[in-house]
Structure 1
Amino acid sequence: MSLEVRTLEASDFAGWLRATRLGFHRPATVGDEEIELRRPYTDLARTQGAFDDGRCVATFRSMPRDLTVPGGAVLPASAITHVTVSATHRRRGVASRMMANELAATAERGEPLAILIAAEYPIYGRFGFGPAAGVTEWHVDTARAGLRPPGDDEDGRVELVDPADVLKSGPELHERVRVQVPGSINRNDRWWELFTGKVRMSADEPWKEPIFAFYRDSSGRVDGLAAYTVADEWHGMYPQAPLEIKNLIAATPAAERALWRYLLSIDWVTTVRTGFRAHDDVMPLLLADRRAARVDNSSDFLWLRFVDVPRSLAARTYAAPGTVVLDVLDPYGYAAGRFRLEVSPGGTATAEAAPSAAPDLTLTAADLAALYLGDESAVRLATIGQVTESRPGTAAQVDALFRTSRKPWAIDGF
């Protein structure tokens, strides 16, 4: 029997949740409370399922999000999530059909970008997505680390706060932070409710309330937030308590340094796991012995796909003036074409289709996505033959244009 792929009706939702659980190798039972909590936050018009004789066997949905790009502008993006295919229905093109539907809907909604977190690396390149912002996770031996002394600008204080304080002050802080960080997205009210434990989405998902800390500047303004847990572990009479960071955001350098210094000097804590941070996070630079910070994981994280190339290119700022014609290859067609990017001395840009212009650099939509936020180098891609220069030196010019002072960082998954 052929599979039916379609958007959901309200009556499909419980079966869709069960299929999602099975797709991620979790028990299929879904309680009424979970259905009631998830349903209001799931837009059925943006949610697809594949059905075999009435049973949901594949899932897919998207959410509207705002993505920060270099320079601080935000672009509407389709954030794709909950992509699963049951083990019994793999290799039948189901995910491809759902992705094709979503890209068409993304274009119709006027969202210039689609984004996702790739569970497996090889899957999404064929759909035109490229890895656009990576993450690194460190394991810090606090006994070896040592800490640089505080700077003169660290005249604020770190204080422990309650979840209610986080719900009150966290959203405003995050809005200030995310416009500074290319690759970050907005957080809705439900994110904060889940983060603070006000809402539990599923009874079978373990949750331990974090300890929350604010950094306040000398005027009392909240400039930083850290959330962490500490395990109660002892070896005989010696405490060996590992600390795990759940979230750390800072609107100022002083707040960032002060929060790291606090977390790395808590009594009884012998190791700190940082969670997913930017590739170039400053934490190791704060240590007297940088070897005390061992990289546990360094990987791609946020993947990006162009739907409207001119709008996306014109939205960000650039590091140098110049003009380049990009010949973008995209079998799906959304990003295909030649585009002239002209950057002014101030870093702002215009971008337009230029079908008759001679190309300077030929690359795929996925390659352009990898360059867009500043995570990848065109020279590196040219070295392995992944992008092609028609004009010698273009790859270096593109790097000069797209260069950012800091690596992009997707602060949150979705």
Structure 2
Amino acid sequence: MVHGTVGVGEDGGDLMTELRVLRQDEWNQWYGTLIRAFGGVLESPEEMELYGALTEADRSIGVWDGDECVGTAGAFGFRVTVPGGAEVPAAGVTMVSVAATHRRRGVLTSMMRRQLDDVRSWGEPLALLTASEPAIYGRFGYGAATFQVNAEIDTSRVRLSVPDGTEDVRLRYAAPADALDVCEAVYARLVPGRPGMLARRPGWERLGLLDPESKREGASPLQCVLARRDGEVTGYARFRVRPGWGNEGPSGTVVLADLAGLDPATEAALWRFLFDIDLTTRLTARGRPVDEAWQYQVSDIRRCRPGLRDALYVRPVDVGAALAARTYQAPVDVVFEVEDAFCPWNEGRWRLSGDAKGASCERTSDAADLALSVRELGAAYLGGVSLSSLGAAGRVRQVRPGALAEASVAFGSDVAPWLPHGF
């Protein structure tokens, strides 16, 4: 077990605290610190049990002031899909908190420092997180790389046009737990096709069944519908229904939890089913891909009230390995001048050469074509944020004329990156 010390507080007072790897028997106290930092509302027993089982203690750290835990941070061992379909090892940064009594004393910085050192030692070229407060993590090199659509669809007035083949899809109800294996098989087939998706490790499939009554807000227990074509399960939807009645009649809401389909007809059949559930007039969808087809099948997108929100933040921990792990949709040969004060091993010039078949990224003494920070590399890494847009924002500086447009096209992705669930 490696120990560290968090140093002097900003107020000049001595803050001698211990930073160390979490012991399994400390989990309850450590997790309690996290819960308090996020408002102190207790989770259900099933949530506590699941996250206790998923926590990787040897990849988690805590800061202790005597017997009191005052800081928490974890890192799940994930594999994330990148452009080209490869699954790249990545640290899923999670459960980060600092006790309110110990803010502005370097506790968070010390944990981020230790964590990124650990991730590098584990040989994982990427770190990922979802941010409760995005302003915090930019200074540690994390860039917003994926976005998601939230929608409130007025299904009493919006209609869906569906593609050919939709009528061939058959839908049947299934108990969510009984259908778990076939749902996971569908999910696994989709993972290579969209950057940002996480290959689920054992235990993570239980996240989709988490259904505490305290989180339903008056809706039903979780329901599941399976889609089949030619006898094969090709998709599923998990959802709840919140009944409602007004002076004009039923006004229930369908609350979508998860939907996946292996082909456009299956996806359309599932969305049409959700639109048409009896006694409902509204469909709420959260965290959907920004390029999902239903947005172009509806009769009135305005009555769907779509809204955009940031989702996955990406940080290259090893710039060379990260850029070499993905492919590029157009040939690219560019030298980046990378700024990374927090992880100085990344600083300097890197030559990226690649195309749709593969890539290499090595240190070079050649003149730079583009200059940027590791944060911008993280934002553009999955292909959902344009390097040209970052350049227009003043975040990427073009040194060689034409280099920005060339690199921006190469970094793009035909399919929008998407994080399917939080962690």
**TM-score, structure 1 as length reference:** 0.92
| RMSD of Structure 2 on Structure 1 (CA) | 2.2
Equivalent AA in structure 2 for residue 53 of structure 1: G
| Distance (Å, rounded) in 2 between the aligned partners of 1:88 and 1:312 | 37
Residue 284 of structure 2, aligned match among 250, 254, 273: 273
Match of 1:108 in 2: 121
> Is it true that 1:210 corresponds to 2:234 in the alignment?
no
Sort the Cα spacing of 1:56 and 1:29 in 2 relative to 1 into closer, same or farther, 3 A. Answer: farther
Sort the Cα spacing of 1:28 and 1:252 in 2 relative to 1 into closer, same or farther, 3 A. Answer: closer
Sort the Cα spacing of 1:233 and 1:7 in 2 relative to 1 into closer, same or farther, 3 A. Answer: same
**Contact 2:332/2:407 (8 A) holds in 1:** no
Sort the Cα spacing of 1:334 and 1:155 in 2 relative to 1 into closer, same or farther, 3 A. Answer: farther
Where does 1:281-296 land on structure 2 (aligned, <5 Å)?
281-295=292-306
> Is it true that 1:384 corresponds to 2:384 in the alignment?
no
**Contact 2:81/2:192 (8 A) holds in 1:** yes
Where does 1:79-94 land on structure 2 (aligned, <5 Å)?
79-94=92-107
Residue 20 of structure 1, aligned match among 20, 34, 53: 34
Range with bigger deviation, 188-197 or 79-88: 188-197
Sort the Cα spacing of 1:410 and 1:254 in 2 relative to 1 into closer, same or farther, 3 A. Answer: same
Aligned residues: 406
| Distance (Å, rounded) in 2 between the aligned partners of 1:38 and 1:386 | 37
- Compute the displacement of 1:209 (Å): 2.6
| Distance (Å, rounded) in 2 between the aligned partners of 1:30 and 1:168 | 25
> Is it true that 1:168 corresponds to 2:181 in the alignment?
yes
| Distance (Å, rounded) in 1 between the aligned partners of 2:282 and 2:325 | 41
Equivalent AA in structure 1 for residue 19 of structure 2: V
Sort the Cα spacing of 1:292 and 1:104 in 2 relative to 1 into closer, same or farther, 3 A. Answer: same
Q: Which runs of 5+ in 1 are unaligned?
A: none
What percent of counterpart residues are identical?
35
**Contact 2:17/2:64 (8 A) holds in 1:** yes
**Contact 1:18/1:29 (8 A) holds in 2:** no
Match of 1:135 in 2: 148
**Contact 2:386/2:408 (8 A) holds in 1:** yes
Residue 180 of structure 1, aligned match among 189, 193, 217: 193
Equivalent AA in structure 1 for residue 79 of structure 2: D
| Distance (Å, rounded) in 1 between the aligned partners of 2:215 and 2:244 | 22
Match of 1:251 in 2: 262
| Distance (Å, rounded) in 2 between the aligned partners of 1:174 and 1:30 | 26
Sort the Cα spacing of 1:72 and 1:95 in 2 relative to 1 into closer, same or farther, 3 A. Answer: same
Equivalent AA in structure 2 for residue 222 of structure 1: V
Where does 1:200-349 land on structure 2 (aligned, <5 Å)?
209-218=221-230, 220-236=231-247, 238-295=249-306, 297-331=307-341, 332-344=343-355, 347-349=356-358
Sort the Cα spacing of 1:269 and 1:28 in 2 relative to 1 into closer, same or farther, 3 A. Answer: closer
**TM-score, structure 2 as length reference:** 0.90
| Distance (Å, rounded) in 1 between the aligned partners of 2:175 and 2:48 | 28
Match of 2:420 in 1: 411
**Contact 1:316/1:348 (8 A) holds in 2:** no
Sort the Cα spacing of 1:141 and 1:312 in 2 relative to 1 into closer, same or farther, 3 A. Answer: same
Equivalent AA in structure 1 for residue 16 of structure 2: S
**Contact 1:314/1:348 (8 A) holds in 2:** no
Sort the Cα spacing of 1:127 and 1:149 in 2 relative to 1 into closer, same or farther, 3 A. Answer: closer
- Compute the displacement of 1:187 (Å): 2.2
Give 3-state SS (helix, strand or coil) of 1:144's partner: coil
Give 3-state SS (helix, strand or coil) of 1:276's partner: strand
- Compute the displacement of 1:203 (Å): 8.7
Residue 375 of structure 1, aligned match among 372, 384, 393: 384
